Homo-oligomer: A and B are copies of this chain.
Amino acid sequence: MRHNPPACCDMRGMLSFMILWLLSKKQMYGQELAEEIAKRKGDRPNPGTLYPALKDLEGKGLIQSEQIGRTRIYKLTIDGKNGLKRACEYFYQAFGDIFEDYKCTCDIEYEA
């Protein structure tokens, strides 16, 4: 079952972080990324959300892309890999105890 964003509080943010992490697993084009993001956030990001984020990351030198036909393949750069490592450390510092707490109090169900 896929959860949509909760009504109680805003859960936006961390899109660039998620993109970097996804690209660290596998190089992907935009619509592949959109599908992976949808698995996690409940819905595909709008083009007006996704493509500016990719453009921004490329402008910062964290990802690079190559156009092949109508698709554009994105992959991490060295700077992107190093940045992701730091971002993960920060993310764990900020939310690690919330995760551990959640895992102790809830039965976790994975999608088949």
Please report A residues at the B interface, Cβ cutoff 8 Å.
2-14, 16-18, 20-21, 40-42, 57, 60, 62, 79-80, 82-84, 86-99, 101-103, 106, 108
A93 contacts B2, C-beta separation under 8 Å: yes
- The residues of B that contact A2 with a CB separation of less than 8 Å are 93
Q: A21-B98, A40-B95, A99-B99 are in contact. Are A90 and B12 (CB under 8 A)?
A: no
Contact for A13 among B8, B11, B84, B90, CB less than 8 A: B11
CB of A40 within 8 A of CB of B86, answer no
The residue from B9, B80, B94, B103 contacting A87, defined by CB atoms under 8 A apart = B9
User: What B residues does A57 contact at CB under 8 A?
Assistant: 9
